[in-house]
């Protein structure tokens, strides 16, 4: 058994915890510490803040190993985060953080590693047959948040392989007149409209504005947070309609990706996943997910789950380290 520091770095927050790993798996995940990235000049300075907290509360230094999930592609000599001014140079991680070994993984790749290792208690059934994720084949992972994360988990002969993708940037395919209206509005704003423009946190505003235009209503200026709150509470009928359209689009995109990847199951993740737990089963998500013409019967047989682990990024970063450094 070994202890490691596990880290999940996003645009707004950097989360830290200490995990125990053994034989390629995560045994335990300690309580997380969440720091605002805007309050720290670099990853190293945030790391040192966490180190001081552990020294103060537990009277010991940090473990000399780390699993690090970061919200950007992890290839190259210099990593620049989206929506975060930090710059990370992987070659300098051992020296600057004082670690002997580390694993660096994309943030949504970490979610894939979490899906590979969490127990069934952290996978809530959404639709399709209520069965566990298959032990063989591809699990398509789709995560709406600030953007749209997409990955896949390939299981073969009791081994798991996480494959990171940029599937959130495929073209948006309208399926009815309302989708057409949404696309027209977005095409006037962007040269190319990807699914991330609709199926993400900011996408709800685009849907809301399109529905307001169809209804001939004045568009009320709302920020992301206020609109999502109104939509989830159902206090605004137009916002609630936009949320149902969002769920339909998420179902359509998840189904398209499962077809493209040869998925035998699907997991919904991302920052909005848990917030939508009560809406997805009662929305048009399933209808759009299975509505794939000649493949409708195949799609109806796929189990669709929602990952409910409270810190999939931290857990997944630890899982990625455990898999890479299995003795």
Q: Which residues are annotated as a binding site for ATP?
A: 7-12
End-to-end CA distance of the chain: 10
Whole-angstrom distance, CA of residue 289 vs CA of residue 302: 10
281 class by beta-carbon count within 10 Å (0-12 exposed, 13-18 middle, 19+ buried):
middle
Q: Is the dihedral of CA 59, 65, 66, 67 positive or negative?
A: negative
Let me know: does 224 contact 238? Beta carbons within 8 Å: no
Whole-angstrom distance, CA of residue 244 vs CA of residue 235: 14
Let me know: does 36 contact 13? Beta carbons within 8 Å: yes
Q: C-alpha 26: how far from its chain's center? A: 19
Q: For residue 24, is it left (φ>0), alpha (ψ between -120 and 50) or beta?
A: left
Half-sphere exposure of 78 (CA within 13 A, CB side): 4
Residue 196 CA: distances (Å) to CA of 2, 29, 203, 249, 293 = 39, 31, 7, 10, 24
Angle at 100 between CA 7 and CA 71, to 5 degrees: 25
Binding-site positions read: 7-12
Q: List helix spans (H) across the chain.
A: 43-58, 93-97, 107-117, 177-189, 203-215, 224-233, 237-261, 285-290, 296-300, 312-324
């Amino acid at each position: 058994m070994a202890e490691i520091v596990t880290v999940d770095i996003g645009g707004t927050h950097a989360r830290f915890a200490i995990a125990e790993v053994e034989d390629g798996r995560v045994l335990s995940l300690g309580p997380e510490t969440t720091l605002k990235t805007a309050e720290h000049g670099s990853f190293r300075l945030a790391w040192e803040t966490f180190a001081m907290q552990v020294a103060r509360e537990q009277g010991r230094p940090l473990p000399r190993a780390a699993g690090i999930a970061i919200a950007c592609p992890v290839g190259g000599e210099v990593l620049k985060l989206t929506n975060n001014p930090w710059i990370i140079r992987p070659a300098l991680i051992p020296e600057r953080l004082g670690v002997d070994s580390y694993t660096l993984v994309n943030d949504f790749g970490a979610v894939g590693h979490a899906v590979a290792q969490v127990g069934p208690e952290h996978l809530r059934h959404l639709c399709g047959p209520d069965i566990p994720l298959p032990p063989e084949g591809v699990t398509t992972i789709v995560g709406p948040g600030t953007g749209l994360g997409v990955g896949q988990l390939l299981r073969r002969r009791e081994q798991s392989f996480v494959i990171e993708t940029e599937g959130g940037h495929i073209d948006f395919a309208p399926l009815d007149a309302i989708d057409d209206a949404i696309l027209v509005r977005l095409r006037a704003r962007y040269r190319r409209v990807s699914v991330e423009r609709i199926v993400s946190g900011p996408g709800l505003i685009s849907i809301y504005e399109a529905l307001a235009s169809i209804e001939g209503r004045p568009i009320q200026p709302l920020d992301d947070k206020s609109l999502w709150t109104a939509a989830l509470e159902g206090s605004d009928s137009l916002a609630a309609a936009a949320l149902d359209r969002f769920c339909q689009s998420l179902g359509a995109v998840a189904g398209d990706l499962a077809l493209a990847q040869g998925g035998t199951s699907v997991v919904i993740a991302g920052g909005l996943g848990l917030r939508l737990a009560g809406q997805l089963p009662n929305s048009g998500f399933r209808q759009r997910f299975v509505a794939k013409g000649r493949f409708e019967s195949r799609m109806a047989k796929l189990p669709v789950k929602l990952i409910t682990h409270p810190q999939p990024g931290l857990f997944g970063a630890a899982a990625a380290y455990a898999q890479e450094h299995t003795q």
